Amino acid sequence: MFDVLTDSFKSAINKVRFADDEKSLKKALDTLKKSLLKADVHHKVVKDLIRTIELETKQSGIGKESFLRSMKENLTQILTAPGNQGFVYASKPPTVALMCGLQGSGKTTTTVKLANHLKGKKKKVLVAACDLQRLAAVEQLKQLCTQNEIDLYFNDSEKNPVKIAKEALNKANEGLYDVLIVDTAGRLAIDEELMEELGDVKKTLDPDEVFYVADSLTGQDAVRSASTFNEQMNISGVILTKYDGDSKGGVALGIAKQIGIPLRFIGMGEKVGDIEPFLPDRIVNRLMGEGDLISLAEKTADVIDEKQAKKLTSKIKKGQFNFNDFLDQMESMKKLGNLKSLVGMIPGMSGMASKLGDMDLENNSEVGKIKAMISSMTKKEREMPDLLNNARKKRIAQGAGLSQMEVNRFLKQFKNAAKMAKKFSGKNGMKDLESMMAQQDRMQIPR
């Protein structure tokens, strides 16, 4: 999701790669300035950033290292605003989070994404349906919560959102929930009626968090509307949605600096797993193409059972990885959300991530073919891949509606993947993996 900015930063850094004079620094700063403005970063934020980087780089001695260090430190500072990062739990549960925003910002979907994210952290979460203005809002919540096994409180016979909020809080207390997330009504524009209703709900709940959900595709309008909401609602954080569709990406760089409120989460896709905490230092690493292995590890830990992972590792080491295991892993990967974003968290792999486009593990045609092939296998064939001779391959191809050439290609890829997994699961696995990543990094950013 940071492809354009990452490429721009690399281009700027490379301008001072071989030279240490002010001319090369000026070229780098000009490249950086144009890239940031083009990415829809506010002009005042860009002006301050460029000035600071120039002064610090000259003080430290013009060079690639000093330029890069100054970029990282100042970008981190821009992205960091006073307040919490990620999701912070109250000392006494339930932690109450009030969701607000304009209509069409993705507020209801984000409410479910956040609930699912916290559920993955082993928290007991209750969602409250208090958006009674949009006709489909409560029904949308019902469907999404049912699909993702999230508890929902609603009251179809009640027309007062304040009363529903109070009832939901009572249920959260009685049910010993860790978190209560309240979805409120949005409007096409900020108006007194909206603010009065939100104020009444806030007064009733006394929430620990007030999240403003902003649509990143609206650019600087998202910043302005967040600022207005903050003046009247005293928001504690911003959640930026639809970031996968924002090719510019500059809104994230300016929002914390401009309104003084931390950006807490980013939504990067339509799937329920497509949300992640916005942690400035980790985001800057990704902007620089250095990856974010900590976030990747946290994300996978939420959906992969530790016992199953150990069992799978044991099977891989013994060369017993089969098609049933392959299908299980594909299902787990779907829960992780946007594949492009995941690959971008691996150091040196940002270039590969951009080539993936918007690959969807659930609807991708190649994934569909693989599922069809495995479904055409017998139970014994799934458990013992070596059984697949030409006659069996032909039968599988016919059953899946594919050519035998396609089946052979998949089986070859499966064997190669199994061999690579076995290699990396050995004693020197991490060293081999790091070596591969370093090689990939050298291919992307010539030293």
Q: What is the pLDDT of residue 337?
A: 57
Q: What is the pLDDT of residue 64?
A: 78
- The residues, ordered by sequence, that sit 6+ positions from 41 with a Cβ below 8 Å of its Cβ are 250, 253, 254
Q: Which of 40-54, 156-170, 318-332, 357-371 has the lowest mean pLDDT?
A: 357-371
Of 293, 396, 424, the closest CA to residue 347 belongs to 293
Q: Is the confidence at residue 170, as pLDDT, over 90?
A: yes
Q: What is the pLDDT of residue 247?
A: 47
Q: Which of 121-130, 296-305, 435-444 has the lowest mean pLDDT?
A: 435-444
Can you point out the beta strands (E) in 336-406?
Answer: none
Q: What is the pLDDT of residue 333?
A: 63
Q: What is the pLDDT of residue 112?
A: 95
Tell which wins on pLDDT, 156 or 248. 156
Kindly state the average pLDDT of the residues 140-168: 92
Q: Which of 99-103, 248-252, 339-343, 396-400 has the lowest mean pLDDT?
A: 339-343
Q: What is the pLDDT of residue 268?
A: 79
Q: What is the pLDDT of residue 356?
A: 47
353 token code pair: 């991530």
Q: Which of 85-94, 201-210, 304-313, 352-361 has the lowest mean pLDDT?
A: 352-361
Q: Is the confidence at residue 423, as pLDDT, over 70?
A: no
Q: What is the pLDDT of residue 129?
A: 93
- The residues, ordered by sequence, that sit 6+ positions from 169 with a Cβ below 8 Å of its Cβ are 94, 96, 128, 180, 204, 205
Q: Is the confidence at residue 107, as pLDDT, over 80?
A: yes
Q: What is the pLDDT of residue 208?
A: 94
Positive or negative torsion for Cα 274, 277, 280, 286:
negative
Tell which wins on pLDDT, 226 or 127. 127
Q: What is the pLDDT of residue 305?
A: 62
- The residues, ordered by sequence, that sit 6+ positions from 238 with a Cβ below 8 Å of its Cβ are 211, 212, 213, 214, 226, 255, 256, 259, 261, 262, 263, 264
Kindly state the average pLDDT of the residues 204-228: 83
Tell which wins on pLDDT, 358 or 228. 228
Helix H or strand E segment including 128: strand 125-130
Q: Are 6 and 289 in contact (CB under 8 A)?
A: yes
Q: Is the confidence at residue 393, as pLDDT, over 60?
A: yes
Q: What is the pLDDT of residue 425?
A: 57
Q: What is the pLDDT of residue 250?
A: 67
> What one-letter code names the amino acid at 263?
L
Find out whether the peptide bond into 207 is cis, omega within 30 degrees of 0. Answer: no
Q: Is the confidence at residue 441, as pLDDT, over 80?
A: no
Q: What is the pLDDT of residue 298?
A: 58
> pLDDT digit string (tens) for 320-330?
778 887 777 76
Q: What is the pLDDT of residue 370?
A: 83
Q: What is the pLDDT of residue 378?
A: 93
Q: What is the pLDDT of residue 162?
A: 93
> What one-letter code names the amino acid at 147?
Q
Q: Is the confidence at residue 439, as pLDDT, over 60?
A: no
Of 272, 386, 289, 401, the closest CA to residue 337 belongs to 272
> pLDDT digit string (tens) for 324-348?
877 777 666 666 655 555 555 554 4
CA distance 53 to 57: 6
Kindly state the average pLDDT of the residues 162-188: 92
Q: What is the pLDDT of residue 299?
A: 58
Can you point out the beta strands (E) in 163-321?
Answer: 179-184, 209-215, 237-241, 263-267, 275-277
